[in-house]
A and B are shown apart, each in its own frame.
Chain A
Amino acid sequence: MNSVVTSNIARFIALVLVQVLVLNNINFLGYINPYIYILFIILFPIKNNRLLFLFLSFMLGLMVDLFLDSGGVHAAACVTIAYIRPVLLKFSFGMIYEHQTIKFSSTELGQRLSYFSIIIFIHHLILFSLEVFNSSKIILVLKKSLFSSIFTLILCLLITILFSKKNK
């Protein structure tokens, strides 16, 4: 149990630092940045105290906001995906999730792909619509969230594959 807590704390700090110091300086094609810090929310243990989980997600978003001067847009997006995560888990993994025995490293790639892509796209859509905050620029919002989502998705999949423990 303790190792789960420490590994999550380490993941929290590492992801925030990597996000604000490295990934936000990429600006691929001028505006496309990956937001991989939400891996913390994606990979958070399934058996959890939901109140604590919501609160931690809020803190994660707020930390990123603090560094990026973006008001509360990251916090809002993070809280939302943390709240709807159980629904998405059930949708993507079906019965396995019901038994709460799921391990991300042992799931099929297709299921993982659908779970990741839905959660990432929802996060980015909320993020950019709050950031732009202007209904007349909806095309810009959609463009930004689509391209950033693709970038984030690729990076997230690569990182989970790289850091997953081999089951022998």
Chain B
Amino acid sequence: MQQIINFIIRNKIFLLFLLLFSISFFLTVQSHSYHRSKFINSANFLSGGVYESVNNIGSYFDLKKENEILLEENRRLKSILYNSEIDSIKENFKDSTLLANASYKLTAAQVYKNSFSATNNYLTISKGKRNNIAQDFGVITSKGIIGIIDNTSNKYARVMSVLNTNIRVNAQLKKTNHFGTLSWNGQSPELVQLLDLPKQAPVVVGDTIMTGGLSTIFPKGIPIGTVTSFKLDDTENYLEIDVKLFNDMANIGHVYIIENLDSQEISKLNSEDE
């Protein structure tokens, strides 16, 4: 017994090093697996609060640009509104049951922290549990997809960006219904990869890729990006496509959070199947 204690005292520095290193290694491994990184994340009151107060100052510098983005979005929405059959839209606006039956709920939020140069990137945004935000809600901007909520605290939430090697999003071609899986290979922050698309899909460079309706996170038809190049993968049955994102991931100010109100029903239905 004495020898054991002596050994511990003699090697206490090495043992402490080993302990601390294994703790951090454990945290690292956890952060590399989807939905596991619970302990160390920036959606807590300390780092969230610091980012919030810095963002309060910094956001003034972007006001002009944010206004232009809003104007542009307004213009687009108005042009859709005026060019469609006006009667049906007017009816819909008065009909409040339409909103009650809506299957998606949108919440606006501000981005406090954004990263795009690491292999697993995350954003921190200004809405959390007390705004009824929970895990697996989708996050978009007016231009396209941003990511999926993966952790929430009371006031803040952490978003797993599309620039994260763990992300998987169902995506499809805009012109046909061929679908595949969107992921990221960790290299260029402008390009994401669409994998497992059947090779008979008629892809040409410049095609638009949007979200498919198969996931319960995003509604169908949210734009993602355009095809820049494609090739057959190793099995020679599927296409591997590089997609240039519509969003500039390095420059994001405001986002919308999408809640699918039917997601519980859908996943319940799917789990009954198994």
Contact = CB atoms under 8 A, between A and B. Distances in A.
Given A51-B12, A67-B50, A140-B187, 16 more contacts: A30-B189, A54-B16, A66-B46, A68-B118, A69-B31, A69-B115, A69-B122, A69-B124, A71-B30, A71-B31, A71-B40, A75-B23, A79-B17, A83-B17, A131-B120, A140-B186
B118 A62 contact: no
Contact of A54 (B20, B47, B120, B186): B20
B17 A65 contact: no
A80 interface: yes
A33 interface: yes
A46 to B, nearest CB: 15
Nearest to B116: A27
B158 interface: yes
Contact of A73 (B28, B41, B124, B186): B28
Interface of A: 17, 20-21, 24, 27, 30-31, 33, 50-51, 54-55, 58, 61-62, 65-73, 75-76, 79-80, 83, 130-134, 137, 140
B226 interface: no
Interface residues of B, number: 42
B126 interface: no
Interface of B: 12-14, 16-17, 20-21, 23-32, 37, 40-42, 44, 46-47, 50-51, 54, 113, 115-120, 122, 124, 158, 186-189, 250
Given A51-B13, A69-B122, A71-B32, A137 B117 contact: no
Nearest to A58: B20
Nearest to B43: A69
A85 B117 CA distance: 29
Given A58-B20, A69-B41, A75 B189 contact: no
Contact of A72 (B16, B40, B46, B250): B40
Contacts of B29: 71
Contacts of B187: 140
A131 B118 contact: yes
Contact of B42 (A66, A79, A80, A140): A66
Contacts of A67: 42, 47, 50-51, 113
A51 B16 contact: yes
Contacts of A51: 12-13, 16
Closest 8 CB pairs of A and B: A71-B31, A72-B27, A72-B24, A75-B24, A76-B24, A69-B122, A71-B28, A31-B117
Contacts of A69: 31, 37, 40-42, 115, 120, 122, 124, 158
Nearest to B33: A71
A21 B47 CA distance: 11
Given A62-B24, A75-B27, A76-B24, A55 B250 contact: no
Contacts of B28: 70-73, 76, 130, 133
7 contacts: A65-B27, A71-B29, A72-B25, A80-B21, A131-B119, A132-B119, A133-B32
For B14, B117, B187, which residue has the most chain A Cβ atoms within 10 angstroms? B117
